A and B are shown apart, each in its own frame.
Chain A
Amino acid sequence: MGVANLLENWSKFRHTHPVDDKGHPDWEAYPSDIKWAMAIDLDACTGCNACSVACYAENNLPAVGKEKYGHGHAMHWMRIERYWGEDAGVGQFNADEGARFLPMLCQQCEAAPCETVCPVGATNHTEDGLNSQIYNRCIGSRYCLVNCPYKVRYFNWYDYPTTQDVWPSPMEQQLNPDLTVRGKGVMEKCTFCKQRTYMARNSAKTEGRPVRDGDVMTACQEACPTGAIHFGNLFDPESQVAKMWKTQQVELDKDKQAKDESSDNRLRGYRVLEYLRPYPSVMYMERVRETAV
């Protein structure tokens, strides 16, 4: 480790803005033919929370209990947000209209606001287009959580493995050995089931072929009873996700989509808080409503 090494490899060490600096996602430093992305159909989502539970099971998330949940200490990497009626104010709801559900998870932003502000560089971008969180490096300054516009990062406010009974016996037998259980003071978030994508890529590499669409499903995608969640490689034109993004005319590196809706078919695809330009990798498709908004 030397200053010479830092200077030589500056372009690799330095985190360039993936879109603004290059005009397109910057993969020169990390060439890859994979960009993981999602498309979530809100018309299919019933708010059943199966995805959330599956995520808990797959990723060793601690179920913190009712009191801590009320305090805002929940650890749900995938959370179902409920929004009540168009006219309902905050905290009010019109039960007749029912709730609208938004499964919110880490958007794996291309220009993630969390990545630049970590003082120790515990959150970075991977070569397959994910926003990585390195638990070992995290010192718990929580700047990433402050800067995330979606607030989809979760901090270990207590030491769940050792002091809290969050996996009452025999639940600890169900913990996933493919990934760690995090201690206190560490930030964590959705990884698009990194342990699964990693294994899929390894298998594909062993077999000498590219990763095929359908090789890997995230836990939430697998659990969803209506198939609302679609996950795959955006760079693979044959993948379902790529086709959906294309149909909805949503492009990864735009902060405002220019849609051609001339065929009178209102395209439902959108990304949340796109105008803030984090370039999220999750596309949502609006729920079809009975009346115009």
Chain B
Amino acid sequence: MTKDIREDIAWAKINQDVLKSLQTPRPAYWVILFVAFCVFSVGLGCEIYQYNMGMGVSNLDNPHAWGLYIASFIFWIGMSHSGTLLSAILHIMHADWRKPIYRFAEAMTTFSLITAAMFVAVHLGRVWQIYYALPYPNERWAWPNWQSPLLWDAMAVFTYLSSSIIFLYVGMIPDLAICRDNMQSGWRKKLYTLMALGWEGTDRQWRNFRMTYLTVACFLIPLAVSVHSIVSTDFSVSQQPGMHVTSFPPYFVAGALYSGCAAIISLFIILRYVFKFEEYMTLPILRKVVRLTFAIAMVWTYLNCVEFAATWYSHDEAEKAVLIQKAIGPYAPFFWTMIFCGSVVPFAMMVKKWQTNIPIMFAVSLLLNLGMFLERWMIVSPTLSHDYWPWQFDHDQWPSMIQWGIVFGSFGFFVILFMVFCKVFPSVSMYEVKEMVYHRSLQSKKAEAEAAAAEGLVGEELAVKGAN
């Protein structure tokens, strides 16, 4: 069993390797950034068109009032659970194999949330009045409607976003100090000096830091669970069949962890290759992440089965009709692709040989996320196609190019944010990797000492026996 990380990596080398990733990018970086910018511009253009013309250009209608915008919103919030899972939950569980990889996962969390927040704006008919959802002082004494799940969303996502930014930033402070100390003067040095807040690495600072980090982690875990549960109440609190499902809060949280982990695998493989982080983002760690993803995939599959089973034994005609529609109606190809990607493809992750096979795991992770995106869409559109009111049936609705354009644009936006992050901030946590190397080396030294002592004893016994 190969080790998660070599124990004899010099600390200076860790600094060097990670800081190398912050150097001037190669031409390929600029090309990819430009492509991402183009994708984002397409989305931006579509949104400007929609803003001016009206929501009708998205092909939404009565009864399909919601479509890909809500699905994407939930998809991006789901992706954001990756960072929280890796940083906070595994931190509390003392799973130190997370140390080389949690930094970019946290960054992914923050940027996913920002992207998700944009979809709230995109989805509204009157975006310019979005501030009505905030409890701001006004002469009409009009408060937002606290009973509405959309309002809970606004509160929850805002809280989660600000907490994630704090978590990301606080966790980066020692690393920013390393950057500050190793950079030539220039805009980078100024930036890191400002952001490192005068970190010197004294004992007291480390103690405070540890406490703060732990506190924010403990705060963030229930927050992450509650945020996605609240987002799921957009559906479960409504009355529509197919949406009005009690198991949605845990189902959505499981789905979020699922898509987050799949995205971690994708970005792991990309960063490992691009920045040559093979020493840190090692294959044993990849194997652990893959196995974790598989476990979550099984949880998600189970909760899916719970939903289907509940529909079956509920004898709720409308609910059953919606499920049958999902399976054989106009959205059937997407529904079955979702089932395939979400429940069948994960089994590829149990093949030991494939767990560290980079191309296969990359493809698998992309398929898993495709499945998760479809899952969100399949909660929205099939229900609206076939709810209580027969007059609305048999009216197919598909998202227009404008809607797809905005959805794809969001991916471009996320990629831009992430790529800029990777070049400005260290995407591997240097101080935590040093901790990991140090603890592992201590452990192996202790093991060696014990083995030597045992051998020594055996040698003594033999000597004594021999003497006898």
Q: Using a CB–CB distance below 8 Å, which chain A residues touch chain B? A: 1, 5-6, 13, 15, 68, 71-74, 81, 83, 90-91, 102, 104, 113, 116-121, 137-143, 145-147, 149-151, 153-159, 163, 184-187, 273, 276
Other A-B pairs, 5, CB within 8 Å; known A6-B143, A71-B61: A117-B148, A121-B144, A145-B62, A146-B240, A146-B384
- Known contacts A118-B148, A149-B387, A185-B126, A159 near B62 by CB under 8 Å: no
Q: Is B55 an interface residue (CB 8 A)?
A: yes
CB distance from B286 to the nearest CB of A (A): 41
B132 and A72 contact, CB distance less than 8 A: no
Q: How far is the CA of A157 from the CA of B387 in the complex (A)?
A: 21
B390 and A142 contact, CB distance less than 8 A: no
- Known contacts A81-B391, A145-B63, A117 near B238 by CB under 8 Å: yes
B56 and A157 contact, CB distance less than 8 A: yes
For residue B66, which residue of chain A has the nearest CB?
A146
Shortest 6 CB-CB distances between A and B: which pairs? Answer: A140-B125, A185-B125, A72-B61, A157-B56, A121-B145, A185-B126
- Known contacts A6-B143, A118-B148, A185-B125, A73 near B238 by CB under 8 Å: no
Q: Is B60 an interface residue (CB 8 A)?
A: yes
CB distance from B119 to the nearest CB of A (A): 12
- Which residues of chain A are near B393, meaning CB under 8 Å? 90
CB distance from A232 to the nearest CB of B (A): 26
Binds A, one of B134-142, B256-264, B424-432: B134-142
Q: Is B59 an interface residue (CB 8 A)?
A: yes
Q: How far is the CA of A221 from the CA of B391 in the complex (A)?
A: 23
Q: Is B195 an interface residue (CB 8 A)?
A: no
Q: How far is the CA of A156 from the CA of B55 in the complex (A)?
A: 8
A117 and B61 contact, CB distance less than 8 A: no
A184 and B62 contact, CB distance less than 8 A: no
Per-residue interface assignment for chain B, residues 374 to 398, with 1 indicating a CB less than 8 Å from any chain A CB and 0 otherwise: 0000000000100111111111010
B126 and A74 contact, CB distance less than 8 A: no
Q: How far is the CA of A113 from the CA of B241 in the complex (A)?
A: 13
A155 and B125 contact, CB distance less than 8 A: yes
Q: Using a CB–CB distance below 8 Å, which chain B residues touch chain A? A: 53-56, 59-66, 123-127, 129-130, 132-133, 137-139, 141-145, 147-151, 154, 234, 237-240, 243, 384, 387-395, 397
Report 5 cross-chain contacts, Cβ distance below 8 Å, ordered by A residue: A118-B145, A119-B148, A139-B130, A146-B243, A185-B55
- Known contacts A142-B65, A146-B384, A159 near B54 by CB under 8 Å: yes
B143 and A113 contact, CB distance less than 8 A: no
Task: Name the contact of B390 in the complex, choosing from A83, A141, A185 (C-beta under 8 A).
Answer: A83
Q: How far is the CA of A137 from the CA of B123 in the complex (A)?
A: 16
- Which residues of chain B are near A102, meaning CB under 8 Å? 391
- Which residues of chain A are near B60, meaning CB under 8 Å? 142, 157
CB distance from B387 to the nearest CB of A (A): 7
Task: Name the contact of A154 in the complex, choosing from B62, B141, B397 (C-beta under 8 A).
Answer: B62
Q: How far is the CA of A158 from the CA of B397 in the complex (A)?
A: 18
Q: How far is the CA of A116 from the CA of B145 in the complex (A)?
A: 8
- Which residues of chain B are near A91, meaning CB under 8 Å? 394
B391 and A142 contact, CB distance less than 8 A: no
For residue A146, which residue of chain B has the nearest CB?
B65
Q: How far is the CA of A138 from the CA of B124 in the complex (A)?
A: 10
CB distance from A69 to the nearest CB of B (A): 10
B144 and A120 contact, CB distance less than 8 A: yes
Task: Name the contact of A116 in the complex, choosing from B148, B154, B243 (C-beta under 8 A).
Answer: B148
For residue B137, which residue of chain A has the nearest CB?
A1
A73 and B147 contact, CB distance less than 8 A: no
Q: How far is the CA of A141 from the CA of B55 in the complex (A)?
A: 11
A141 and B125 contact, CB distance less than 8 A: yes
For residue A9, which residue of chain B has the nearest CB?
B141
A186 and B388 contact, CB distance less than 8 A: no
CB distance from B406 to the nearest CB of A (A): 16
Task: Name the contact of A151 in the complex, choosing from B63, B124, B127, B397 (C-beta under 8 A).
Answer: B63
